[in-house]
Structure 1
């Protein structure tokens, strides 16, 4: 595709797979999030001997242990992906799979670049990485997928939303209508997922609302439409005031607020009586919002009074346990379980700094204080405490307090927890994130220190009646879990409910945070795809990379929030807040999504970090040519947040697209000073544009070169080039065998 032919594609932006960040939620309160032993969910392998079968076997062999709920080697799925064996669901995830285009699919590229499986790349255990043939099997499956059928979505038109809310308000008396609030799920349920998908999200929403309720009874909201895609409830049944609803509603991004009729706003007395379920989950998962809605006190000394435990504790039911080495912190922990006379439960975990030697003393002293009826329940020497407690409606809440008794939004990193918090993301903080691991309450754990404490108690002459036996501990944990199951069912929530293998509230949050395509953007803004596309085409400057990529693929939520301020018609809503991005991410786009045969094409690239860019054209016959760098412009450094145009204004060449059909442009940007990906060797004295030959063959060459580098360098034989010649190239030794830092993107353009 030099001065001659070429091709490209409406490309899905290669969003960095969440799993690359390996957001492994390893628990908030209890010791290890242990390996699962439950039966796997009903995920069926493809029945026919097909590409799907081969891909399924590869994912089962190398990915299911971390990404398939029911087969995990830990309690929760890594990378917020819990259904890797559900191939149909994967094919509908725009951030993972672009049907027909594996090079635009992060599920494939993270394997091709050896960033996955993560436990292999980080040397966790004696595990083998996927073979070249296995990676090719995943590629073949994606390449053979047809475009996912356009699912039929629920009600989204403003007129329909207005009609539903108006009818609900008219069915209530004016006083009640002023307290009615609405949550929308219609954008989450589709004909592809069926009624069960929408019902699962509805249960997740009900669990969310009850988890932030101060009311004495579980909330069971009303369905506004027959499908259950809109729900309504009286905000007083959460124990909230209308102002507390407004405090959350005003945080909604202006560009995506539904434009409801003035009569609806007047009847409700609210500026925003309708919120989207996934955004609401995201907002309430922020610790500040969570604590404020539950009114959890800032100081731990006021916590018992707030919970209603003061003067109401059943001291005989208080129990103490401990572990010598927590899987979360790598240090000691003590656990205190208390219950009030109404049977409500409070679990508190005390974190100790490794090597302080205070664990056993703290356990003994705590038991002695309790046996004397002392009210002090803070273990001496602990760095912080983490609490799981029952709300008045029976659902569980959580909080974190520092050593001085001050409430914390995020748990302090203790011992090895810096590693855990890096993996676990939101799950290590206070609030709703804690329940990513703790379903329904605490996980079973082994009490390590009863024997030591019993000996010290006998020596000190104190009481041991609060030290728990393992059998009693197991029974308490089981009873608490069973009680929570009853509470969930009373609110119409399945106790074993997961969505895509994930805890349901967390799944709602992720639905909001995942990458968006132009169809999703149009639904959220209540406009047509054509209207959005026309506006995006006009955007330039700093907004251009995200705007062009949204037309040709997907963008992150942060990028959309930035773009949305320019997509609204009301200029008062516009903001100029650049999304912050630390991760290396490459963005490709073309000056147009489609071309006439013979037209010249221009390609653009930007990156969140400095990296060296390689642009590769793959034509309709599968032949690959490096477009950049080239003999005309060998310097391929792409500076962070700067736009690069290929060909540049001063370049003495043009790319003309001659062949009708599609052509793909693949971008590979190498960080860390490396200028080319493995397997790419330039010789501009012989070729002004480096030919890679057959693209499928090159991908095998790339893996071979990468393997050779990690093994100490040497020579690799290239596949046959177009000329029929074979080449042998020397690859350098790599001192660091870990995966090379890089970002990839691919776009496809149409040529008419």
Structure 2
């Protein structure tokens, strides 16, 4: 590491900025971006050159083009080729055409780089070949395939271990399973180890036991983590909090290990999946419920043996105030209290920065300590404190101290999770931001307040005592951070551990929530191999088989998979689902709804016969336990897929569009030559609103043919305005989709090329239509004012 400097100005809890500033950072790295590893392979070097040339200006922290202060879409590590190689969200090892990174650059939507308005400034064929070779080579260097572990082996392993425990401990012993992660071929060994560390970290972060929980492998693969409940200061009731909401529980008449395990442990669900655990128990309100935190800030103080008001009045606190925290929308004041287990940092957050919301004018507060006359008026707060084992606990509260599950985005935002809703969710957002403990901050209040003679001498004396200045505050930051590092290492966790490039608990949450479920993963979660699932699919019934066939082409979002899981488990395996209090509140796409409706497991959108319609309804019925509601990706309102994943030149192609909500549809075809055409609306086809929950098959008449090899991207947009459509087509040539390749209008199209997809409404004769398909796509409709989009890339091969 070269010369380093303290990074300043980041908030106390919530989201991190793109650069992790909890430790001393490398100034050269900050200024110049991510260098190529010294031992880079030729393939890595070639890929790095392409990514540096075309992508780093928008997506590499430290190399952003003029005018950008933060990476676009929250993606700021494009030149970290080894981190990219570990993240299946961007790169599928060995398979370029399935990798989002390659798809987008090859001709996805929007075209990349998105500041390029002409195909001449996009990567050349030889440069695309470099990316393709790099991704292909990753498959060759991947570790050996892991041995598949079926459900029967998991339960046999758990029963064997439980039988070895003393009889008086068995009903207090539970298990966290890594089975689905172990079986997933897209999870590298490095990520698997990081997901294991994430699970251990979260268990400790949910414990009031002063002893650190350390995982000792029950088996050589690390498939199961044994949880003796008292080791985490848990009891049966705390496990039941999770058990009641767990959607993947099962029972069986044919698996003797499972039934015996359930009897011996005294619970129907003795095993819970690590990925579900990380996504759900890390997020409030379950986070509060499992950790057992009080409903009010006052109650939390009593629980921790803390008297904040007394500490403030007796000048036993350390404060710092600043305006740009990276988390809080306005100014923020942070305050440290001593705690028997370590420290208690809290923040005072404001919805504005004027009058009583300015701690420069009113540096003392809260009102409960200093009275109305001299105090600032905060709008909420966030706290981070040391648990008895040295890990950290987190708390969000309103002005009056009432506990909050989610921080209001008008005051704080989670910018560390670009695929999220921006909400700061207590627990997971804080763990992600504080991946290495306390974050360094500067203080801007002391100097201003001490020189403000409008403040009384008494006020300035108090300011002098509780705002000690940057050096003193940073000494506390350093001490608290080092203590957290030591605690992580005591649990066997390297503080530098990343899961798919993220803080490990966040990484495992993203794995569960945001990575869509494909055919291989569906089989895995059902306890089957792909071959076993294929063999059984023919006997699953028409609707179930249709969905499974769709999964071979287009994966589905986590919330939809959770809805169909019990149906498929019952139909395709020897296990039966256990119905819990979990309710899927998502609107479902057509193919998913067909599987669920009319089955005993059709609990979508209702509880106790009462429909869940609004967000308030969802909260009333406990749907805040559903981590997917904070994910924009998982809540996708639009699904698009084709009848096959690959085609040969000349093959007909059908596109299936399934919106979750009413949709004014636009379909755009973009090929890897960066040529694009509008498939729908199209002259001769009725432009209708596609109803939510229905399926639209395109083309409804005529034929859509493939005409040349390459990677074809089909982009579906709901309710896109002219500006939105134009943005998606920026950087592409606007061409005609018409079969006879005649320009539809001179205003819209200036060139004609042999497009990969050709739409012919009259396969028996030439397309004689001359009406302009134009750029007026009926703009935004009243059915859904938001622009929602989805895309799929298919490979067209030579004959």
Whether the TM-score (by the shorter chain) exceeds 0.5 is: yes
Please state if 1:436 is matched with 2:432.
Answer: yes
Q: Following TM superposition, by how much is the alpha carbon of 1:267 offset from its aligned partner in structure 2, in angstroms?
A: 1.4
Matches of 1:32 and 1:487, distance apart in 2: 21
* SS in structure 1 at match of 2:295: coil
* SS in structure 2 at match of 1:400: strand
Q: Following TM superposition, by how much is the alpha carbon of 1:589 offset from its aligned partner in structure 2, in angstroms?
A: 2.4
Return 459-468 or 496-505, whichever deviates more: 459-468
Q: Following TM superposition, by how much is the alpha carbon of 1:530 offset from its aligned partner in structure 2, in angstroms?
A: 3.8
Q: Which residue of 1 aligns with 2:289?
A: 292
Deviation track 1:655-675 (CA, whole Å, cap 9, x = no partner) reads: 789x9x988764233442558
Q: Which residue of 1 aligns with 2:354?
A: 356
Q: Following TM superposition, by how much is the alpha carbon of 1:292 offset from its aligned partner in structure 2, in angstroms?
A: 0.8
CA contact under 8 A between 2:317 and 2:337: conserved in structure 1? yes
Please state if 1:744 is matched with 2:791.
Answer: yes
Please state if 1:406 is matched with 2:399.
Answer: no
Matches of 1:744 and 1:197, distance apart in 2: 27
Matches of 1:458 and 1:414, distance apart in 2: 35
Q: Which residue of 2 aligns with 1:306?
A: 303
Q: Which residue of 2 aligns with 1:23?
A: none
Q: Return 5+ residue gaps in structure 2 as ranges.
A: 1-9, 571-575, 580-599, 606-627, 757-771, 780-786
**Cα–Cα, structure 1 residues 352 and 173, in superposed 2: closer, same or farther, change >3 Å?**
same
Q: Which residue of 2 aligns with 1:160?
A: 153
Matches of 1:221 and 1:423, distance apart in 2: 31
Q: Following TM superposition, by how much is the alpha carbon of 1:48 offset from its aligned partner in structure 2, in angstroms?
A: 5.8
Matches of 1:216 and 1:210, distance apart in 2: 10
CA contact under 8 A between 1:549 and 1:587: conserved in structure 2? no
Matches of 2:112 and 2:117, distance apart in 1: 9
Q: Following TM superposition, by how much is the alpha carbon of 1:601 offset from its aligned partner in structure 2, in angstroms?
A: 6.3
Q: Following TM superposition, by how much is the alpha carbon of 1:280 offset from its aligned partner in structure 2, in angstroms?
A: 0.6
Matches of 2:216 and 2:561, distance apart in 1: 32
CA contact under 8 A between 2:74 and 2:415: conserved in structure 1? no
**Cα–Cα, structure 1 residues 597 and 174, in superposed 2: closer, same or farther, change >3 Å?**
same
Please state if 1:639 is matched with 2:690.
Answer: yes
Matches of 1:593 and 1:128, distance apart in 2: 30
Q: Which residue of 2 aligns with 1:387?
A: 383
Q: Following TM superposition, by how much is the alpha carbon of 1:235 offset from its aligned partner in structure 2, in angstroms?
A: 1.1
1:26-45 equivalences under 5 Å are: 29=13, 33=17, 35=19, 37-38=25-26, 44=37
1:41-56 equivalences under 5 Å are: 44=37, 47=40, 53-56=45-48
Q: Which residue of 2 aligns with 1:253?
A: 247
Deviation track 1:403-436 (CA, whole Å, cap 9, x = no partner) reads: 1111111112345859999886466222232121
Q: Which residue of 1 aligns with 2:519?
A: 518
Q: Following TM superposition, by how much is the alpha carbon of 1:733 offset from its aligned partner in structure 2, in angstroms?
A: 12
1:309-458 equivalences under 5 Å are: 309-310=306-307, 317-340=316-339, 342=340, 344-358=342-356, 359-360=358-359, 364-366=363-365, 380-414=376-410, 425=421, 428-455=424-451, 456=455, 458=457
Matches of 1:418 and 1:440, distance apart in 2: 17
Q: Which residue of 1 aligns with 2:601?
A: 574
Deviation track 1:421-455 (CA, whole Å, cap 9, x = no partner) reads: 98864662222321211232232111001023334
Q: Which residue of 1 aligns with 2:193?
A: 199
1:54-133 equivalences under 5 Å are: 54-60=46-52, 63=55, 84-85=78-79, 87=81, 90=84, 95-97=89-91, 105-108=99-102, 110-111=104-105, 112=107, 115=110, 132-133=121-122
**Cα–Cα, structure 1 residues 274 and 331, in superposed 2: closer, same or farther, change >3 Å?**
same
Matches of 2:63 and 2:737, distance apart in 1: 49
CA contact under 8 A between 1:47 and 1:53: conserved in structure 2? yes
Q: Following TM superposition, by how much is the alpha carbon of 1:256 offset from its aligned partner in structure 2, in angstroms?
A: 7.3
CA contact under 8 A between 1:83 and 1:501: conserved in structure 2? no
**Cα–Cα, structure 1 residues 117 and 354, in superposed 2: closer, same or farther, change >3 Å?**
farther
Matches of 1:31 and 1:458, distance apart in 2: 38
Q: Which residue of 1 aligns with 2:123?
A: 134
CA contact under 8 A between 2:671 and 2:712: conserved in structure 1? yes
Q: Return 5+ residue gaps in structure 1 as ranges.
A: 1-25, 122-126, 693-704, 723-728
Deviation track 1:211-231 (CA, whole Å, cap 9, x = no partner) reads: 011112111133110232322
Return 469-478 or 634-643, whichever deviates more: 634-643
* SS in structure 1 at match of 2:219: coil
Q: Which residue of 2 aligns with 1:606?
A: 658
**Cα–Cα, structure 1 residues 447 and 615, in superposed 2: closer, same or farther, change >3 Å?**
closer
CA contact under 8 A between 1:632 and 1:688: conserved in structure 2? no
1:202-281 equivalences under 5 Å are: 202-254=196-248, 261-281=258-278
* SS in structure 1 at match of 2:169: helix
Q: TM-score, normalised by structure 1?
A: 0.75
* SS in structure 2 at match of 1:282: helix
Q: Which residue of 2 aligns with 1:17?
A: none
Matches of 1:381 and 1:187, distance apart in 2: 49
**Cα–Cα, structure 1 residues 328 and 271, in superposed 2: closer, same or farther, change >3 Å?**
same
Of residues 172, 181, 184, the one that matches 1:188 is: 181
Matches of 2:546 and 2:35, distance apart in 1: 41
Please state if 1:558 is matched with 2:559.
Answer: yes
Matches of 2:60 and 2:538, distance apart in 1: 40
CA contact under 8 A between 2:90 and 2:100: conserved in structure 1? yes
* SS in structure 2 at match of 1:407: coil
Matches of 1:269 and 1:398, distance apart in 2: 32
CA contact under 8 A between 1:625 and 1:691: conserved in structure 2? no
